[in-house]
Amino acid sequence: MNTSAGPLRPRRLGLLAATLALLTALLTACGDSGPRDLLADIRAGHVMLGTKYDQPGLGLQNPGGAITGFDAAVSVFVVNTLADQLGVARPQISWKETPSAQRETFLRNGEVDTIAASYSITADRMKKVDFAGPYFITYQGLLVRADDDGLNSLTDLADGKKLCSVAGSTPAQNVKAQLPGVQLQEYDSYSSCVEALRRGKVDATTTDEVILAGYANRWQGEFKLVSMTYPRDTCVKGTWKTAGEPFSTEYYGIGMAQDFPEAVERVNQALQLMMSTPPGGGQSVWERDLREALGDTTVDDMIARADAPGSQFRFVPTPGDLSFLDAPSTPCPEGAE
């Protein structure tokens, strides 16, 4: 009996270790089975924040593991500000990659406290999660090579130019509907589109311009941004769009689990503080972080565009104001196309 006990002991230890690992995994899964309260987790000393890992300028995981970008900066500012206001130590921050298709699930299952990941606030999403913000307003734009003098507006794509976007994306289909002559090239990611643009395989790529601005800032001097507006009065899915109106307006918010209204209110207050001008004047923390993420030239251009007479573009959002969700649309005139 004793001669067999020795060889079995390592196996028993291995089985015990495996059992403990399984129990730990089960307990972790159980802990993530319900939504997280951001304020409670800040008080407890640890928060889990969601963002993208593959969007330069917004959320990017660097080779060393650090997360950089404007979305990440906004998240960190909010958490640290709330900790200061609650009178507790600033919590440990962990990050989790949150792909677009899984964002609502991650929030509802308690896998993250918040998500800032180019996350547009929409009425449909508000049925599943809550949002603080908006903390940024962006529009559909074009990214073209800096030396391409023939592409300065949407209509310049009309003559058989090659436009790249992600397969099935609404932005590309919007352009195709306006300019049937465009040759639409669909790739599996915006990174692939940008690489195709760098190599001259396509003439432009389109999505939210802040995403494009992140790529332009990463490869400085290689690209330029082109604003997109409707070239003529047109009917789009039953809504009347006038010439000069921006293509899709997106309001980015911080996604949070439902049923924690105090947390949402406090996050909105932190965002307002981030956007406020310092007592002595100068740039807000919000603008400073945006400039660091996108570059001074891009931000200066966004400000100038918003300040232009009669402009339909905005620059600074109003956290907590979700009235845009209820803004009435103009129906198409009878017989309009």
Q: What is the pLDDT of residues 203-233, one digit of tens each?
A: 999 999 999 999 999 999 999 999 988 888 8
Q: What is the pLDDT of residues 143-162, one digit of tens each?
A: 999 999 999 888 888 778 99
For residues 30 and 199, give the distance between their C-alpha atoms in angstroms, rounded to a whole number: 48
3-state secondary structure of 173: helix
Q: Which of 193, 49, 51 is nearest to 112 (CA)?
A: 49
pLDDT of res. 13 = 43
Percent of the chain at pLDDT exceeding 90: 68
Q: Is the peptide bond before 134 cis (omega within 30 degrees of 0)?
A: yes
pLDDT of res. 230 = 86
Burial of residue 43, with CB atoms counted within 10 A of its CB: 0-12 exposed, 13-18 middle, 19 or more buried: middle
Residue found under tokens 């928060």: 47
Spatial neighbors of 316 by CB under 8 A, at least 6 apart, are 275
Confidence of residue 250 (pLDDT cuts 50, 70, 90): very high
pLDDT of res. 18 = 43
Average pLDDT over the chain, rounded to whole? 88
pLDDT of res. 181 = 82
Type and span of the H or E element at 41: helix 38-44
Residue 64 has pLDDT above 50, yes or no: yes
Residue 126 has pLDDT above 80, yes or no: yes
End-to-end CA distance of the chain: 89
For residues 192 and 198, give the distance between their C-alpha atoms in angstroms, rounded to a whole number: 10
Spatial neighbors of 191 by CB under 8 A, at least 6 apart, are 54
Residue 22 has pLDDT above 70, yes or no: no
Confidence of residue 33 (pLDDT cuts 50, 70, 90): low
Residue found under tokens 């307003």: 137
Confidence of residue 337 (pLDDT cuts 50, 70, 90): low
pLDDT of res. 335 = 75
Task: State the average pLDDT over residues 12-20.
Answer: 45
Domains in the chain with CATH codes? 38-137+250-325 (3.40.190.10), 139-246 (3.40.190.10)
pLDDT of res. 142 = 94
Residue 16 has pLDDT above 90, yes or no: no
Instruction: Report strand pairing: 162-166 vs 204-208.
Output: parallel
Q: Which of 50, 15, 55 is nearest to 36 (CA)?
A: 50
Instruction: Report strand pairing: 92-97 vs 46-51.
Output: parallel
pLDDT of res. 157 = 85
Task: State the average pLDDT over residues 24-46.
Answer: 74
The residues facing 101 across adjacent strands are none
For residues 19 and 329, the model is more confident at 329
